[in-house]
Structure 1
Amino acid sequence: MQGIIDGFMVAFTPANLLFVLIGVLIGMLIGVLPGLGPGPTVALLLPLTFTLEPSTAVIMLAGVYYGAMYGGTITAVLLKLPGESASVVTTFDGYQMARQGRAGAALGIAAIGSFVGGLVATCALVLIAPLMAEFGLRIGPPEYTVIALLGLLLVSAMSQGPLIKGVISAGIGLLLAVVGLDPVDAAPRLDFGVPELLDGFNLVVIIIGVYGISELLSGLMEPAPTAAAGPVGKVLPTRDDMRRSAGPIVRGSILGSLLGTVPGGGGDLPSVASYSLERRLAKDPSRFGKGAIEGVAGPETANNAGAVATFIPLLTLGLPPNPILAVIFGALLIQGITPGPSLVVEHPDIFWGVIASMFIGNLVLLILNLPLVRVWVKVARVPVALMTTGTMLVLLVGAFSAANDVFNIWVAIIAGIVGFFLRKAGFEGGPLILGFVFGSILEPAFRQSLLLSRGDLTIFMSRPISGTLIALAVAAAAYSAFRVIRKRRARAKGQRTLTQPLTTEEAPTNADDSSRH
């Protein structure tokens, strides 16, 4: 309780209140503009954080993140064009509600659900984060090795598209992470005789290129927003809307808070899982996809809850669960602060200040969302191409400012072009970024573990926590493989049944029987 009280004292300073408001407004604006999204925006704002206090910088970036989660809902409902990927599910029923003249109700219930989900996840953050930080102080290099490795595998598996592409993307990130001097014996690796590569690639520059420049290049290929489906209508939901939405909001809050802590959580996973759950629990599943308000309330609640919950592993274990949190992880590193179990002791102003600011930020979201809906509709029609030039310039200035080195500008440009073509080939940038981040954690932890055990790999199985995690991972992999094999056998058996010739007794005897068969 003392920690959260101190956190509110930090969050209620005039500067932090101002930057909460700025972060939430920018996040909503970016969520409304298709083609940008929270990841590139947080990367874009990184240079601005160099001169801010660490707590103020993270408070602003956090506001951008969960503000964008709601901003993407507006275009998803009105234009059937999600501002960011997590809002794709909202288009299924939100746009149908808009076509029925109930866009206001869809946006209103999304605002209420986002507020409740964010509030529940923030309360979970208050309760769970100190316990996880205390737990984190008890784990050593072997545990961090296993956690980082499992995180990479989960992120690769949860990425969109084939699993192999997610693994390859994460592998590219791991390869980029080992460029530079060896952390143990200082031997140069993969520098190709370029002196600037001896220090390795800068995390911020890689993020700006892969997640910022490539996103802008992709945005230029996107079609312009279409006209809105119809009038916004009344924003406040009816009593029947609230009755139908109460259960999905409660379930979405819990589901999002749980999934947000998983590597790869936040973003798409909570909203997709919530939509699937609500459709399965519905008495009449056929209503979904035709304007069911539960299909908006549940995913939007889970979406915001997941966004807030992703800060639990970042602040307590120093493990960013998704690419956007990896950007915020980089912002803390720029400030000379390493997220992890010791953060709550060494920098309680940041730890508790960020948590307290989320209560304020979610309240600001609720207050601003409803009256500004019509403003955001006009903003959504601004062509993205008009903003690309200025945004690109700011990104390149940010790449230079990361180390005051022109070489980083070229790195960002090359990373952006490579990221663009990888995206076109079906490879996501998220696993690449997290592979780069986890690589800087995985290699030192793995080598420290081998030094502790004098090269004995059984150290990872003999320690209780790491051994348990490995056993759970193997069990999960075996179960997944068993399900895949069973489905393939069932499919093959079904195909054999369909292609099997009819017996004499089953053969048709006349035209009517033939048509019936």
Structure 2
Amino acid sequence: MGFESLIGAFGEVFAPGNLVLMFVGVTAGLIAGSIPGFTITMAVVLTLPFTFGLSPVEGLSTMIGVFVGGLSGGLMSGMLTGIPGTPSSVATVFDGFPLVRRGKPGLALGLGVWSSFFGGIISAVILVLLAPQLARIGLEFGPWDFFSLVLFALTITASLSGENLTKGIIAGLLGLMIATIGSDEVNGVARFNFGTEILQNELKFLPVLVGLFAFSQLLSDVRDRRKARQPLMESSAKAVRVEHIAAIKMILRHWVNLVRSACIGVFTGILPAAGGSISNILAYDQAKKASKAPEEFGKGSPEGIIAPEASNNATAGGALITMMALGIPGDIVTAVMLGALLIHNVQPSPTFITDNPQLAYGIFVAFFLAHFIMIVMQAFCLRAFLMIVRMPMYFLAAVILLYCAIGVFALDNAVFSIWVLFVFGIIGYIMKTLGFPLAPIILGVVLGHIAELNLSRAIGTSDDLTLFITRPWSLFFLIVAAFSAAFPWYQRNFGKKQWTLVYVPLASLALSVPLIMMGGIVRPGIGLLLIVYALYKLYRHHQAGWAVHQG
């Protein structure tokens, strides 16, 4: 039965009409993802009405094409202009843009494209093999666990702040404050609206993001007349060939980073409402912490491109897992896909794969195929985008700003969104001039709302605050958050201070506690292995007389 369904799914997905729809979908996603302010969600929503007259496999194949293309398309504008096309490509800009400005756009774009491809393929394999099992993890999460997860993500501010931790923390707190503007979603209480109706609702994330990254970058690029008349990158304008072979070799050299980042993406995608805007930053942070050359991050490190691009495409596979196995959308895009299934009278549930095997296998095959189509189509799109850097900066800035304004206006047809873009562009420019990093602000804006909402839900559900430490997943993320916050000091003093010798063993012992609390066989087994590893490391340090050079 399963083999017959798989053959039937291949027949439907590879039908000429469906292939045309997928090519159109991937191309539309690449275009939508590369335009700052025009979100993947917007592209998928615009695609939905065209799927009404299609079969379920055709409709979902088209939307999966838009989804995969959009996740990969964000790296184009992010690397070439320093403006992330989508929230899921924010961390890609940190090293992609500097590498392009160092005269290596072909390598940078090759790394981004192939990292997206490999990350998506890894997540597709996990989607096929582990969908029912992994989806059950999402059911274990309550508001306490989500709040602790966001708290862990906020500790990344320390890693994104570079050498100036104080300015990074100030920037992160500013982002959290921006997230509180408007009305409290739970209680409806107005905050920081200064008595104006226009600020009754929360500030939209995209105008703030585009303003801080796009407008501030454009102001920096055209602030003097001579620079404004020059092309964005004269040297890169000649290098119009994407360095596919060199990029693949470099990615394979960092295969551990690739696999780790893809797994982070899948896990984040499984969690409802987490999405690529969190996973790409988490993967970037972990890559920097595990790197042998963390000082290169932010200056054009290949590892800093591989991690976020592998994770954001892998997030799509995780989101599809929860949609198919539980009927819970992993993010807004899969929520739209869920709506498309319901329109065709298909209800995702834990028995979805058993009840609708051909459709389930069709989704698997379409997700695989979309990544191969993405490679083919992006090869053409990237050539066109590389030609953009030949334009004078003032002309390019005007066009980009026009697209940004159209994108943010289209969110809710409000001129106010354009003013938000303008104001935060000025704020971003001033902060960059004063040496404040912009990444922590974005992190605070993205995660602040999620943190507040889940904290309100947790307190509203129960006034027992001990649930934050008695629930295994919440305790797990709180422990990871504590050690993550201390990691910059560990990294700075490693090999110099004796206390750094107990950092890893202590972290392993602490993490074993919530894993053992989760019950079952696998997770407690992992917890016991962590205890054995920690004791072994402590024993080795004791034998070495606690000499710091032993690491």
Normalised-by-shorter TM-score class: 0.5 to 0.7
Structure 2 runs not aligned, ≥5 long: 50-59, 83-91, 269-276, 324-329, 340-346, 499-551
Aligned to 1:404: 413
Asked whether 1:60 is paired with 2:55, we answer no
Among candidates 180, 189, 212, match of residue 191 of structure 2: 189
TM-score by length of 1: 0.63
Among candidates 477, 480, 494, match of residue 469 of structure 1: 477
- Classify 1:410/1:13 alpha carbon distance in 2 versus 1 (closer, same or farther; 3 Å): same
Q: What is the one-letter code of the residue matched to 2:205? A: L
Residue 65 of structure 2 contacts residue 370 of structure 2 at CA under 8 Å; is this kept in 1? no
Per-residue CA distance 1:280-315 (angstroms, 9 max, x = gap)? 9xxxxxxx9xxxxxx97x777656423423446766
Taking the aligned partners of 1:373 and 1:395, their CA distance within structure 2 comes to: 20
Residue 119 of structure 2 contacts residue 314 of structure 2 at CA under 8 Å; is this kept in 1? no
Following superposition, the deviation at residue 181 of structure 1 comes to 2.6
Aligned to 1:157: 159
Per-residue CA distance 1:160-199 (angstroms, 9 max, x = gap)? 5533333333322322222223334333222111012222
Partner SS state of residue 412, structure 2: coil
Q: What is the one-letter code of the residue matched to 1:461? A: I
- Classify 1:372/1:464 alpha carbon distance in 2 versus 1 (closer, same or farther; 3 Å): closer
Partner SS state of residue 199, structure 1: coil
Q: Percent identity?
A: 23
Per-residue CA distance 1:441-482 (angstroms, 9 max, x = gap)? 22222122223332x322211222212322343345456545
Taking the aligned partners of 1:397 and 1:72, their CA distance within structure 2 comes to: 18
Alignment of 1:352-367 (within 5 A): 359-367=368-376
- How many residues in Structure 1 have an aligned counterpart in Structure 2? 435
Among candidates 199, 213, 216, match of residue 214 of structure 1: 216
Among candidates 175, 178, 181, match of residue 177 of structure 2: 175
Residue 111 of structure 2 contacts residue 251 of structure 2 at CA under 8 Å; is this kept in 1? no
Aligned to 2:461: 452
Range moving further from structure 2, 418-427 or 241-250? 241-250
Q: What is the one-letter code of the residue matched to 2:47? A: L
Asked whether 1:306 is paired with 2:311, we answer yes
- Classify 1:368/1:399 alpha carbon distance in 2 versus 1 (closer, same or farther; 3 Å): closer
Taking the aligned partners of 1:351 and 1:89, their CA distance within structure 2 comes to: 41
Alignment of 1:269-284 (within 5 A): 273=287
Aligned to 2:149: 147
Partner SS state of residue 427, structure 1: coil
Asked whether 1:440 is paired with 2:440, we answer no
Per-residue CA distance 1:198-257 (angstroms, 9 max, x = gap)? 2222234333433443344344357632235988899785xxx89976951644532442
Asked whether 1:266 is paired with 2:280, we answer yes
Aligned to 2:56: none
Q: What is the one-letter code of the residue matched to 2:376? A: I
Taking the aligned partners of 1:195 and 1:139, their CA distance within structure 2 comes to: 36
Residue 256 of structure 1 contacts residue 302 of structure 1 at CA under 8 Å; is this kept in 2? yes
Aligned to 1:86: 95
Q: What is the one-letter code of the residue matched to 2:469? A: M
Aligned to 1:392: 401
- Classify 1:50/1:119 alpha carbon distance in 2 versus 1 (closer, same or farther; 3 Å): closer
Aligned to 2:434: 425
- Classify 1:352/1:256 alpha carbon distance in 2 versus 1 (closer, same or farther; 3 Å): farther
Asked whether 1:19 is paired with 2:28, we answer no
Range moving further from structure 2, 223-232 or 189-198? 223-232
Structure 1 runs not aligned, ≥5 long: 31-39, 77-82, 281-287, 289-294, 319-327, 338-342, 491-517
Following superposition, the deviation at residue 111 of structure 1 comes to 6.6
- Classify 1:251/1:445 alpha carbon distance in 2 versus 1 (closer, same or farther; 3 Å): closer
Taking the aligned partners of 2:437 and 2:7, their CA distance within structure 1 comes to: 37
Taking the aligned partners of 2:260 and 2:360, their CA distance within structure 1 comes to: 24
Residue 154 of structure 2 contacts residue 447 of structure 2 at CA under 8 Å; is this kept in 1? yes
Following superposition, the deviation at residue 18 of structure 1 comes to 0.3
CA RMSD of aligned residues (A): 5.4
Residue 72 of structure 1 contacts residue 84 of structure 1 at CA under 8 Å; is this kept in 2? yes
Alignment of 1:223-238 (within 5 A): 224=231, 225-227=233-235
Residue 255 of structure 1 contacts residue 270 of structure 1 at CA under 8 Å; is this kept in 2? no
- Classify 1:186/1:145 alpha carbon distance in 2 versus 1 (closer, same or farther; 3 Å): same
Residue 117 of structure 1 contacts residue 302 of structure 1 at CA under 8 Å; is this kept in 2? no
TM-score by length of 2: 0.60
Larger radius of gyration: 1
